[in-house]
Structures are given as C-alpha cells and as structure tokens.
Amino acid sequence: MNDAHDLELVLKSHIPIVVIETREEQRAVELISRMQFRLSQPIYKWTVTEGLQRLDVNFEAQKFSAKPGDVLGNIKAGANTGIFLLLDFHPYLDDPVHVRLLKDIALVHDRTQQTIVLISHDIQIPPELKNFCAMVELDLPDESSLKKLVKETARSWQTRYKEKVRADEKSLGLLVKNLSGLTHSEAKRLAHTAIYDDGAITPDDLPEVMKAKYALLNKEGMLHFELNTEKFSNVGGFNRLKTWLRQRQPAFEGELKGLDKPKGVLLLGVQGCGKSLAAKAVAGVLGIPLLRLEFAALFNKYHGETERNLRESLKAAEVMAPCVLWIDELEKGLSVGNNDGGTSKRVLGTFLTWMAEKDAAVFIVATANEIDSLPPELVRKGRFDEIFFVDLPDQATREIIFGIHLHRRDYDKSSFDLTRLAEATDGFSGAEIEQSVVSAIYAAHAQQTTLNNNHVMQEIRQTKPLSIVMSERIAALRTWARDRTVPVD
C-alpha cells in the first residue's frame, strides 16, 4: 500500500519524468496499471521488442514505435496526454538525440500532460534530465508480507498434494527472517524452493536459502560467501579475543536490551599468525554467514564506479544480516594514495560513512598487516570496537598449533614431542608451523616411513621464519602496537 500511495502521489505531482529503479519490473507495471482510474489518464507500455501498446484498453502495439528514437518522437509529436512506461530504456540514455527528445517532452509537460516513467534495474540519469526527474523506490516486503507470502506458498503446496506442509512456528520465523531484503518475486521463488523440495519448513532449508539469497544479491561478484567457517577450538591462542566475543555475543543477538550491537574488530599483526582463521571462527561462534569483501575486485577505471561497487557490496551485506563481513588485508583497499585521481579517498569516505551509519547486524572483522598504510581516520578510537594485535605465538600456543595440525591430518599428537617442537619453533608463525608439518609429511612419504618427530624437526631446521627475514618490520609493528592495541593473548 505504501508503494502504491507514494507512486500515485509522484504521478499526480506534474513531474515530467519518473524513474523507478527496481528488479521487479512486472510489479511496478502492475502498480501503475491499477491506478488508471484514479489517474484519469491512458497508460502506455513500451519495450524494444514489442513497441508501444496501451494497457487499459485492447490497443494493438505500434510496432513502428519499437525503436527508441521513434517512440520518443511519436510521444513528442502526439497531442494526447498519457503516462508512458519505458521498460529497460537505460542503454539508450547514452544517445544525445534520445536525451534531447526526453528533455523536449519534459519542457512542455505543463501543456501536454505527458509523463515518462523509466523502469529498469539500473538507471543512470544524464545531467541534462536530472532537474525534470523524481526517483521512486519500491519498498521491499516487510516481515508480515513475507510471512503471508510463505503461508500462501504453503497453501498452494497443500492444494496440489492434498496434505499440510510440515512446519513449526520457529522454523517459519527463521525462514521469514532469512527472506528479508529480497523482492516479492525473489522471496516467493525461494519460499517455493524450500517448501516444494520436501513439503516441510525445517532448519535444514535455511543454508540453501541463504546461499540462493546471496547469489541473487551478489551479482557483481564483489562479495564471497564463505561456506566453511571455523571453530575457535581449531584456533590456537586468541584467548582475549575469545573472551571479548563471548561477552558481546548476547548484545549482538539482541538479547541485551538497551545496548548497541558491537560493530566489529580490527585484527592487526604479523603475517601468517591466524588473523584470517580467526575471522572465520568469529562467524562460527556467532552461528551466522561469513561474507568476504574482495577489495581488489571493487576498483574500476571509470570515475565513480569503484565507490558504487563498494556501496552495492555493503548494501548486499546489510541485506544478508545478521552476518560477519570479513575484509582481508584492509590496507590494500583503503590506503590513501595521491596517484589514483582521489578514488582511494572517496572509497575511504564511503566506507567510514557506512560504518558510522549502519544499523544492520553486520559484524566487521578486518585484518591488516601494515599499520603504516592505514589512514589515521580508520584506526582512531570508536571506528572499531577494539583493535587487537596478533603477535607471533608463544611456546604454549605453538604446542596447541602443532596438535591442531597433526590432528587435522589424522595423526595422533600424543606420538609426538610437542614441547620439543614448540621450543624449536621460537619466532615461527602459525602458518610456518603448519607448513613444517605439511613438508614433514611429504618427506616421510618419500622415504616410505611413518611420520615422526625427526621429520618435523628436520623441516624446522631448514626454515628461516619471517621473524628473521623481516625482523626490522616486525619490530616496528610491535613497537607501534604496544600502547595502542589489545593483545589477543
């Protein structure tokens, strides 16, 4: 009802060009068609395939008006009032002749009462036409509308198969929650898939619904849906982060009234020490989807496109909420440079504005290796809830990491001297410890013997860890972090 009311007000406001940017073309056309008697004007629809046809009477399509320039020329030359719905006209707005024809129609609107309605999934209005335009956004279905939609789909299944859909109120609520942020047609399609698959609404349907929802929203490929999250039991160390997260989990889930939802954390530290693994574990602990933002894929050579890509990706993340948004190697996307025409500064501004204004339950886990590359505006207090420093693991943590990687590869960790291995890997990162285990397995296989401590020790002795190769850079990072961050252990 709000959609119809708002759209009707705009169409009655003597605005020459109305722009409806939506993925629900058919719904937009139907909304306007149902207003015909209240608008007291004929309504025409144009497509490049069907030409111009009148919707409110049996009016044969004018095939000669199929070309964009022809239909605009006919509208301009005609003396009849009317509302003209031009579907998918956006590719033709690059032609200066089409732009001029639209402007000519708009300039005499007070006399002709001819209203152009542009309906498309993505419309970039030329500067010459912006003063004549009004944007209308169709609302997405709310919770009650989605619940009604799911129940209607269930009744349809019941009518067809002569039995009731198996469901409980909790599963129904979860399905409705996971359909939020989709259009009517998209939500109906996913509800149909969930119910018609087995005649039931169960928690088992939800992962497939979320995957399908993500596929619908992420058409540009900037976000990656990470199917495999992690358990914190498979992450060595990070004890302070684990405690911090457990304390804030009820607030994030909305169980603690009056408290703001936590915004997210920045994990700064030495390469290979488990920052990415910890991001996956955060999503696993919270039991929500993990989205990874690929900053390298955002950048586009055309002015303004990079910021638009970022806005679209962040909007998709909000629709997927509750979720964890993992931004790996943040400094590569938000380091401010002077040789990119100001793109990095605009991207930073877009990201900071979103962080400050977002209301959706999107928990950010950003990782970074080089603090010098990050702009001061991003790391000041209040941007993130906390900045954690991930240092090289201590001996106790190294023992745990060895045990995790041996167990993951089906080796009995009790058969190995973990204490000796941990002592020998002072200065090793978690990734370097894992690689020593992997290399030892290859060596043992080549020798056709069972993996043992000596194989691992041999690989350790042959490794020059990052703490030696890049000792100066790591020392500088530790110095910066000492009084500015919270250690994860």
Same domain membership, residue 270 and residue 121: no
- Which stretches of 218-288 are DSSP H helices? 239-252, 275-286
Same domain membership, residue 385 and residue 423: no
Same domain membership, residue 110 and residue 36: yes
Q: Looking at 167, 186, 217, which one is the last position of a domain?
A: 217
Q: What is the pLDDT of residues 430-488, one digit of tens each?
A: 899 999 999 999 999 999 999 999 999 999 999 888 888 888 888 888 888 888 888 88
Q: What is the pTM of this model?
A: 0.66
Same domain membership, residue 465 and residue 436: yes
Question: Alpha-carbon torsion 66, 68, 69, 72, what sign?
Answer: positive
| 8 A C-beta contact, residue 18 and residue 83 | no
The mean pLDDT value of the chain amounts to: 83
437: containing domain: 395-469
Greatest CA separation for the chain? 92
Is the residue at 23 inside a domain?
A: yes
Q: Looking at 341, 370, 390, which one is the last position of a domain?
A: 390
| Pick from 356, 345, 209: nearest CA to 289 | 209
Residue 90's domain is classified under what CATH number?
A: 3.40.50.300
Q: Is 216 helix (H, G, I), strand (E, B) or coil?
A: helix
pLDDT > 90: percent of the chain: 24
Same domain membership, residue 311 and residue 252: yes
Q: What is the pLDDT of residues 96-128, one digit of tens each?
A: 999 999 999 999 998 888 999 999 988 889 999
Is the residue at 338 inside a domain?
A: yes
Cα 334 to Cα 313: distance, rounded to the nearest angstrom: 15
Same domain membership, residue 367 and residue 238: yes
Cα 419 to Cα 399: distance, rounded to the nearest angstrom: 6
Q: What is the pLDDT of residues 276-323, one digit of tens each?
A: 888 888 887 787 778 888 776 676 555 567 777 788 788 878 877 788
Q: What is the pLDDT of residues 68-78, one digit of tens each?
A: 999 999 899 87
Say what angle helices 25-33 and 184-198 make with each other, to 10 degrees: 120
Same domain membership, residue 114 and residue 25: yes
Is the residue at 149 inside a domain?
A: yes
Is the residue at 486 inside a domain?
A: no
Same domain membership, residue 453 and residue 368: no
| Pick from 133, 114, 131: nearest CA to 123 | 133
Q: State how beta strands 51-54 and 43-47 pair.
A: antiparallel
Is the residue at 481 inside a domain?
A: no
Burial grade of 170 (CB within 10 A; 0-12, 13-18, 19 or more): exposed
Cα 240 to Cα 242: distance, rounded to the nearest angstrom: 5
Total structural domains in the chain?
4
Same domain membership, residue 31 and residue 66: yes
pLDDT at 438: 94
Is the residue at 477 inside a domain?
A: no
Same domain membership, residue 369 and residue 239: yes
Same domain membership, residue 377 and residue 241: yes
Q: Looking at 390, 425, 458, which one is the last position of a domain?
A: 390
pLDDT at 2: 59
Residue 405's domain is classified under what CATH number?
A: 1.10.8.60
Same domain membership, residue 365 and residue 264: yes
Q: Please give the average per-residue pLDDT across 11-37, as a whole number.
A: 88
Cα 118 to Cα 115: distance, rounded to the nearest angstrom: 10
